[in-house]
A = this chain, B = another copy of it.
Amino acid sequence: MRQSTLFSSTLRESPADADTASHRWLLRAGYIRQLAAGVYSYLPLGLRVLRKLERIVREEMDRAGAQELLMPALQPAELWKASGRYDVYGPELIRLKDRHQREFALGPTHEEVVTELFRNEISSYRRLPVTVYQVQTKYRDERRPRFGLLRGREFLMKDAYSFDMSWEGLDASYRGMYDAYLRIFERCGLRFRAVEADAGAIGGEGGSHEFMALADIGEDTIVACTHCEQAANVERAASGTDRQPAGAAGETTLEKLRTPNARTIEQLSRFLDAEPSRLIKTLVYAADGAPTAVLVRGDHEVNEIKLKRSLGVERLELADAATVEAVTGAPVGFAGPVGLSIPVIVDEAVARMPSGVVGGNEADMHWIGVVPGRDFPVERTGDFRNAAEGEICPHCGEGELRYHRGIEVGHVFKLGTKYSVSGGAVANDADGKEVPVIMGCYGIGVSRLLAAVAEQHRDERGLAWPASIAPFRVHLVPVALRDETQRSLAEAMYATLLRHGVEALLDDRDERAGVKFADSELIGVPVRIVVGKHAAEGNVEWVDRATGERTVVPKDEALARLIGNGTSKG
């Protein structure tokens, strides 16, 4: 394509509302434009990248045996009411009425619709398993759309749905999609981790994995091992064992100490001149309303999801100050397990402590030299805390756990029979008995993926796309368009590249070299061929956008390399 005709401009300044590096560069380089908060147009450069991502997604879906279909965005509200999600979904679901006052939703996802389709098309186990997918525009009225394409209100998604007769069948379908996702993200040049998003492993009911692009701006925290493949969302990650040395014996003499105004671990640590890992935090929760004390080490954080699951309760929140005072007899900040009459839940790391410091259940008082099991009951123990950085991986026992920030770009989920039961999607088994089919759902945020790759592949001058999804394979830049040698060499190379199906962008603009180079860095095509002072000898400069490496090569060698590596336009 000739750059002079490109329907976009590069911007010299960063738009005020661009809140991440990728968003800034995508705007400045002319890939996308905002039409409304969270609603974007894809200019030709952006659409080229989006289409390449789509193609990779489709190829891997097809390879995994999934069939593509296309469902509507306009969905009758009745379907959502039948599944119970119309009310649950809240204001993120965009609702509207047609001219006859019938209610519709703009689909944020398609479980209801695909279940309805299945119900009418398939009725026998002979036609299962089957997985269908679509690449389709979705709507979600985010409260705070931000980070450009990362959290939009109109976005492109690949969603897939599998239908099986058994949980073992679902396991296989799930694994097929999981593997396809690994290939997709690898092909897109993404640095990512597949993380457990739920306690269940791939084989279990209700399993779920998230695919997280690693990026500082990520809104999720991932705990990953430095040695093995284990990685999980911090909400779900199993805690490791730490390298904390066992405490000295002398600290086991129980003693009540006056600790004026030392309500927090930080204040107490300073007051006692003791590491937070020597202290024990006592938090009073209301577990389905019942006051319950939870003990974690001073340097650890309670993980409420683990706690909730272990307690088997629906609602879990920190108890209010009045409850804490009523239960402990002391103001907030001085709760402790010694002599407490409510249930006490003890994190394993606390149970392993030789001794520690706890609140005295009395204003400005703490107990020191407290021995778990001796001075308070250690009956209900378990993993109730966030895995911490530096701990030894509980899976391999070799590596250490590290925190990473992640952007969720994919999610695979074992739905089970939730929608098949409410939507009446059944199939006859081999004995002619009707059973609800067992479903899985699998999503990739395609437009979000674009932004995630951009966030990882950029530098201080602009974008630097992986070749697999770059808008062009090569950027041909004649330095001085008015120099006839340069111009004609560039034009000849351009013609040759096009003839061989290599996607090339030719900077045919009569601009200063500085402007051209700056735009080229901004746009981030993987290879730049500079046709400049060496043109007379038939040589050009090959510039690798990502590494900045430059080499002068004969034009024929440059062409041969590009044509050999050329992305077919197919």
- Chain A residues in the interface with B (C-beta under 8 A): 1, 4-9, 30, 33, 35-36, 39-44, 46-47, 50, 65, 67-76, 91-92, 94-96, 98-99, 102, 104, 106, 113, 116-118, 120-122, 126-127, 130, 132, 137, 139, 141, 143, 153-154, 570
Contacts and interface: CB of A to CB of B under 8 A. Distances in A.
A144 to B, nearest CB: 10
A151 to B, nearest CB: 14
B42 A69 contact: yes
Nearest to A48: B68
Q: Is the interface of A mostly helix, strand, loop or mixed?
A: mixed
Contacts of A127: 4-5
B104 A36 contact: yes
A159 to B, nearest CB: 13
Nearest to A116: B35
Nearest to A113: B35
B7 A69 contact: yes
Contacts of A71: 35, 41-42
Best-buried of A44, A75, A99, A106 by chain B (most CB within 10 Å)? A99
A569 to B, nearest CB: 9
A21 to B, nearest CB: 22
A6 B67 contact: yes
B154 A74 contact: yes
Contacts of A47: 68-70
A7 B113 contact: no
B139 A74 contact: yes
Nearest to A6: B67
Nearest to A142: B99
A188 to B, nearest CB: 19
B39 A113 contact: no
Interface centre among A96, A139, A153, A154 (most CB of B within 10 A): A96
A44 B30 contact: no
14 contacts: A4-B127, A7-B118, A7-B121, A9-B121, A35-B72, A35-B116, A36-B72, A36-B76, A36-B102, A44-B67, A44-B132, A47-B68, A72-B154, A74-B153
- Chain B CB count within 10 A is highest, among A41, A47, A70, A130, for A70
Contacts of A35: 71-72, 74-76, 113, 116
